[in-house]
Structure 1
Amino acid sequence: MDNQGDKSGKTPNLDNYVIKDPEAFARNVAHMIEQAGKAASAWVEPREKGLKRDTIADPVTDVVKTLSRVSEYWLSEPGRALEAQTKLFASYMTIWSNSIRRMSGEEVEDIVKPEKGDKRFADEDWGKNAFFDFLKQAYLVTANWAGELVTHAEGLDDHTRHKAAFYVKQLTSAISPSNFLLTNPELYKETVASNGENLVKGMKMLAEDIVAGGGDLRLRQSDMTKFTLGENVATTPGKVIARSEVAEIIQYEPSTKDVLKRPLLICPPWINKFYILDLNAEKSFVKWAIDQGHTVFVISWVNPDHRHALKDWTAYINEGLRFGLDTIEGATGEKAVNAIGYCVGGTLLSAALALFAREGENRIRSATLFTTQVDFTYAGDLKVFVDEDQIRALETAMSAEGYLDGTRMATAFNMLRSGDLIWPYVVNNYMRGRDPVPFDLLYWNADATRMSAANHSYYLRNCYLDNNLVRGMMKLAGENLSLGDIKIPIYNLAAKEDHIAPALSVFTGCKYFGGDVTYVLAGSGHIAGVVNPPAKNKYQYWTGDSPLGAFDEWLTKTTEHPGSWWNHWHTWIESQDDKRVPARIPGENGAEILAEAPGTYVRIRV
């Protein structure tokens, strides 16, 4: 790296790139290699002992197969391939020419700039140092070019194009120069300044995280030692008053003298733990709902193992939702209940409501769905992982243990936002050697759960693959289900930036319900859009007419409201039935107290 001029003609300071203590640096490199060996042993050992089996088909196979379809289009016509290659080469030559002009002191505009909010190239030397600026420009041009190859490839079916775009995005995120020591000025300077101590610490953390994952990398996103269930997360007082093989039912203690007559049953997703709705006193939807006068009951799903292999959706409905309704009736004497379902918990609730309608079960009188899909036509990037070949491979893998390991699902969800949830932590942890900061949301995110084989297979096939629920083809307990049979009022909440349950997908599902649907669009994403306490005064939400017609047209006619949607929802709930009764205490009416909240099932870790 010579003394090359920056964009303003000034000479950058290269002292930060010169190793000051070669002996110390050499010692640390040796220690780093030693720790790297421990990391390799942590990966190999459980496989040699038969404790870890890589039974899922190599995902690289699907990546290669998918991207080969794109290559076929461009390579089938020599002129077409030459045109694409010429375009990329011309961009490289422009970058090179601009670098030469910049080194001579001329002001030159970059031919491509990072997207707004891209934090990878924040260090000033990405612009001041001609070498790193060239790397940045070449990378951004190449990434854009690769994305355009997918966009302009003809003859691809929608699913293949979707997968190709997703895989290209993952690959280009992975090869970013910001992810490597020698091509990231910030990492390079930190390594020189610490004589390589950061690399020793990083390799040590890598080995620890592979050990923690039982032979797979469990990426550390938060300082897990700073949180304890029941002490500084999931702290709302309550009691476990019932337990089945798949669920514990928690009843929370009241904070008001009078409460709404209708109790509230919350059905969270079984992917991750329920306490996303009870992170701490300031963020807890559970506590807030209690303070508004709701008698709150929450289903805490079991973290399944081989004993639960055959637990399917019928079991989760009977031993979770129906079991919860029975528990509420026994504890309070009430048969009329308001219910909430979050994400896949909302999909299960919707299917259960259709089944209940066929059976004449009418204890749930209103349903609220948080970022829930029932129509999976526009289900977003998770559909990348769902086709017949991939599901068969997954079912084969699950048949060995009876469940899907939680780290597999966690990785899939992290890949949806790899630029935020994977690579920044790889760089921070294993190259900079820094512990991640304590963050309750990411602590919860890392608290993954397994999926029982029957449950997960049913979900993937009936929802993502075949979209059976809105087609009237989903069968449970011998009944073909129809959402049109659900006549109760629905409050359907979507989040504008949701990557898991896209707002469009939630909107399109509204038309299938047989009763009145109130569609509300929250700001932010799948978690922050839901967990948004009014006191924080963050984001916004939109309300409008009935969710009919095109989503974009509906959106143009909405009213924007600042802050949280929580109060709007509570007003909607009270409009259904605002009668109040004296507060109920867990354990009344002979209900047995099995444990203190947050219970025992939530403490079972992968």
Structure 2
Amino acid sequence: MNAVTDKTQRNRPMAIPAAPINENPNPHPHRNIDRTLRAGLAKLTGGISPYATSSSVANWALHLVRAPGRQMELAEKAVASSAKLWSYALQPGSAPPFKAPDYDHRFRHPDWASAPFNVWSQAFLATLDWWEDATHDIPGLDHHSAERVHFMARQALDVASPSNFPLTNPEIIARLKSTNGQALMDGAAMMFADIVEIASHEPPPAPEGFKVGHDIACTPGKVIYRNELFELIQYAPQTEKVQAEPVLIVPAWIMKYYILDLSPQNSLINWLVGQGHTVFAISWRNPTAEQAELSLEDYRKRGVMEALDVVCDVVPDTKVHTVGYCLGGTILSIAAATMARDGDERLATITLLAAQTDFTEAGEILLFVDESQVAFLSDMMWEQGYLDQSQMAGAFRAIRAEDLVWTRAVRRYLMGIEEMPTDMGVWNADATRMPARMHAEYLRSLFLENRLTAGRFAVDGRVIALKDIKVPLFIVGTESDHIAPWKSVYKTKLFTDGDLHFVLTKGGHNGGIVSEPGHAKRHYRIGHRPAGARYMDPDHWLETHPKKEGSWWTEWDKWLGIHSGAQVAPPKPGGTKHPSLGAAPGSYVMQR
């Protein structure tokens, strides 16, 4: 090989690995012994790599040890915090010196303002504040290690929160008094029921009034296509005329699609159909070990592209509005960039809902992603064939453990308060698995190496670029999203230069998207970037775009109308090529 050829080969972008997860390009005769041991350890730790956590703690400790000046600052902060706490304790009625984060609701009950509970809660918040400072601004310490140590410190402190114990939580005391202790008996019964449920590995039945296909995920429609990966649902029209361009929804495969089709009153799909749109939605299957070798490319080619082919069969000779939610938006972006590269012009618009294309600021979920962690998870998935729903859910709960773990446990087991079922709660418990190969590729190529916006993501051996996408874009971020932080979602503006609307709406990753018209106390901001306009940073954008009361759904519908043609008669379900395979919501959504 000559020097020019060798240089060309070295500079070629890295494509997603094609080798199956169970194969090793450099086989070692005893490698599987190591993988089996690591997989067993991973099951004991819930998929969290002890090597990654211990190395972060060691990194933090070693850098702090060699920084005596920083140690003195932390000692002074501890003394100052103690002085504030004593001053607060000795001056009844004074303002609390320490405040909980906006998302932490543990100490908001008015009884926490009375002694001695006010002092205990303030002591806890002072300790949280000190650890926040102690894990940051350490000379030489990398950001990832600092954030991980802070996360672990927060997890440990949450265990000892005064809100977790009957004698130090005034809400528990009041509840026990009002029920003459019956709350503890009720809580013990709930705990026993939960233990039995976990031990049996059987999901609980849907609560009364929340049955999938009857009460939720009940927008009328037909399954018109099915392959190994997904079912495609075409929803029945609700208007005499419809927009000529259909809407194809690509949900995330980490969740059941019906987050967008909950109860009829807050179903985005039902609302879209009611506005005169022909709506198609992908319903991903819940994979088992048999689908371990499904790849990220399978989800693009046999998922998004195959669904698009079917939609174009049913509604021929017209372009398609596409919508991607969460990871569905990421794979839709990859598909759209590939189509732009290859001259495929079937897309009318692209809407991305809480979807990231750049993963350098992907929020606290990055705490679970580094080389050690990805290798650890890969070994666990290698043995199982998938990432289990409970293993994924554990990571998301840990990010907001104070609310999703401890507050729930206190109310349920110590106060005997049964949670009222909601459609979103039922959906949240109806989790899915992730195929081993696909999830390993996703973590490595997107989260760990950020190939898509680094110009190194290749499809069919050729690199794709988001800037090649020229169809109009509608991007939605949510204010309190800890899975896809809005500033990360906003970065789509950095890597595209076409016509783009950006919306920032109140709520979190799910609640901000399920924000139907009439939902109380909702607001949003919206801005338009014409094609070729200069970039505006997110902080400046936030300052210059005022809040609007109401739902962003209505803005989106107006935007879709602007980019649609004349109204036509509704298309026949399945067209002439795809007869009905059954009623919506289909069979894949029922898989456990």
Deviation at 1:512, TM superposition (A): 1.6
271-280 or 389-398, which deviates more: 271-280
Q: Please, which of 147, 154, 158 is the counterpart of residue 173 of structure 1? A: 158
Q: Is the 8 A contact 2:314 2:572 kept in 1?
A: no
What's the counterpart of residue 84 of structure 1?
74
Amino acid paired to 1:112: F
- Structure 1 Cα separation of the partners of residues 73 and 468 of structure 2: 56
Deviation at 1:317, TM superposition (A): 1.6
Deviations 1:412-441 (A, max 9, x none): 222333333222211112222322111111
What's the counterpart of residue 562 of structure 1?
549
User: Does residue 1:575 correspond to 2:562, yes or no?
Assistant: yes
What's the counterpart of residue 136 of structure 2?
151
- Structure 1 Cα separation of the partners of residues 338 and 489 of structure 2: 21
Q: How does 1:242-391 map to 2 (within 5 A)?
A: 242-391=225-374
User: Does residue 1:126 correspond to 2:124, yes or no?
Assistant: no
| 3-state SS of paired residue (1:492) | strand
Sort the Cα spacing of 1:65 and 1:578 in 2 relative to 1 into closer, same or farther, 3 A: same
Q: Is the 8 A contact 1:520 1:543 kept in 2?
A: yes
Deviation at 1:298, TM superposition (A): 0.1
Deviation at 1:270, TM superposition (A): 0.8
- Structure 2 Cα separation of the partners of residues 58 and 486 of structure 1: 37
Q: Please, which of 66, 69, 72 is the counterpart of residue 59 of structure 2? A: 69
Sort the Cα spacing of 1:506 and 1:230 in 2 relative to 1 into closer, same or farther, 3 A: same
Amino acid paired to 2:483: I
Amino acid paired to 2:57: L
- Structure 2 Cα separation of the partners of residues 412 and 107 of structure 1: 40
What's the counterpart of residue 28 of structure 2?
none
Amino acid paired to 1:121: F
What's the counterpart of residue 487 of structure 2?
504
- Structure 2 Cα separation of the partners of residues 95 and 555 of structure 1: 36
User: Does residue 1:586 correspond to 2:569, yes or no?
Assistant: no
Deviations 1:427-474 (A, max 9, x none): 112222322111111211121110111111111111111110012211
- Structure 1 Cα separation of the partners of residues 362 and 539 of structure 2: 17
- Structure 2 Cα separation of the partners of residues 128 and 234 of structure 1: 46
What's the counterpart of residue 429 of structure 2?
446
Deviations 1:298-342 (A, max 9, x none): 000111111111111211122211221222123233452111001
Deviations 1:332-360 (A, max 9, x none): 33452111001110000000112223333
Deviation at 1:179, TM superposition (A): 1.3
121-130 or 475-484, which deviates more: 121-130
Deviation at 1:603, TM superposition (A): 1.0
- Structure 2 Cα separation of the partners of residues 58 and 522 of structure 1: 33
Sort the Cα spacing of 1:424 and 1:319 in 2 relative to 1 into closer, same or farther, 3 A: same
Q: How does 1:525-564 map to 2 (within 5 A)?
A: 525-536=508-519, 538-546=521-529, 548-564=535-551
| 3-state SS of paired residue (1:589) | coil
Deviation at 1:143, TM superposition (A): 1.3
520-529 or 586-595, which deviates more: 586-595
- Structure 2 Cα separation of the partners of residues 568 and 292 of structure 1: 12
Q: How does 1:509-528 map to 2 (within 5 A)?
A: 509-513=492-496, 515-528=498-511
| 3-state SS of paired residue (1:544) | strand
Deviation at 1:556, TM superposition (A): 2.7
What's the counterpart of residue 600 of structure 1?
587
- Structure 1 Cα separation of the partners of residues 140 and 300 of structure 2: 42
Sort the Cα spacing of 1:494 and 1:113 in 2 relative to 1 into closer, same or farther, 3 A: closer
Q: Is the 8 A contact 1:56 1:393 kept in 2?
A: no
Sort the Cα spacing of 1:313 and 1:259 in 2 relative to 1 into closer, same or farther, 3 A: same
Q: Is the 8 A contact 2:60 2:135 kept in 1?
A: yes
Q: Provide the aligned C-alpha RMSD in A.
A: 2.8
Deviation at 1:377, TM superposition (A): 1.9
- Structure 1 Cα separation of the partners of residues 272 and 225 of structure 2: 21
Deviation at 1:520, TM superposition (A): 2.2
190-199 or 339-348, which deviates more: 190-199
Q: Is the 8 A contact 1:273 1:602 kept in 2?
A: yes
What's the counterpart of residue 402 of structure 2?
419
- Structure 1 Cα separation of the partners of residues 151 and 202 of structure 2: 22
Amino acid paired to 2:305: R
Deviation at 1:577, TM superposition (A): 2.3
Amino acid paired to 1:567: T
Q: Is the 8 A contact 1:314 1:477 kept in 2?
A: no
User: Does residue 1:199 correspond to 2:184, yes or no?
Assistant: yes
Deviations 1:93-148 (A, max 9, x none): 6645754x46xxx6555443445674322445433333x33322221211111111
Sort the Cα spacing of 1:337 and 1:223 in 2 relative to 1 into closer, same or farther, 3 A: closer
Sort the Cα spacing of 1:98 and 1:251 in 2 relative to 1 into closer, same or farther, 3 A: closer
Sort the Cα spacing of 1:341 and 1:460 in 2 relative to 1 into closer, same or farther, 3 A: same
Deviations 1:205-241 (A, max 9, x none): 33433443457899x9x98455210121111101111
Q: Is the 8 A contact 2:500 2:528 kept in 1?
A: no
Amino acid paired to 2:482: H
- Structure 2 Cα separation of the partners of residues 223 and 183 of structure 1: 35
- Structure 2 Cα separation of the partners of residues 511 and 281 of structure 1: 37
What's the counterpart of residue 229 of structure 1?
212
| 3-state SS of paired residue (2:233) | strand
What's the counterpart of residue 40 of structure 1?
none
589-598 or 265-274, which deviates more: 589-598
| 3-state SS of paired residue (1:250) | strand
Sort the Cα spacing of 1:116 and 1:477 in 2 relative to 1 into closer, same or farther, 3 A: closer
- Structure 1 Cα separation of the partners of residues 95 and 570 of structure 2: 67
- Structure 2 Cα separation of the partners of residues 116 and 368 of structure 1: 29
TM-score (norm 2): 0.85
- Structure 1 Cα separation of the partners of residues 163 and 506 of structure 2: 30
Q: Is the 8 A contact 2:187 2:415 kept in 1?
A: yes
TM-score (norm 1): 0.84
Amino acid paired to 2:466: L
Q: Is the 8 A contact 2:48 2:373 kept in 1?
A: no
What's the counterpart of residue 406 of structure 1?
389
- Structure 1 Cα separation of the partners of residues 70 and 346 of structure 2: 63
User: Does residue 1:183 correspond to 2:168, yes or no?
Assistant: yes
- Structure 2 Cα separation of the partners of residues 203 and 62 of structure 1: 36
Q: Which runs of 5+ in 1 are unaligned?
A: 1-49
Sort the Cα spacing of 1:385 and 1:216 in 2 relative to 1 into closer, same or farther, 3 A: farther
256-265 or 551-560, which deviates more: 551-560
328-337 or 60-69, which deviates more: 60-69
Q: Is the 8 A contact 1:248 1:299 kept in 2?
A: yes
What's the counterpart of residue 208 of structure 1?
193
Deviations 1:133-181 (A, max 9, x none): 3322221211111111012322211221222233333333332110122
Deviation at 1:598, TM superposition (A): 1.0
169-178 or 288-297, which deviates more: 169-178
Amino acid paired to 1:598: P
Q: Is the 8 A contact 1:313 1:476 kept in 2?
A: no
Q: How many residues align?
A: 548
226-235 or 182-191, which deviates more: 182-191
| 3-state SS of paired residue (1:282) | helix
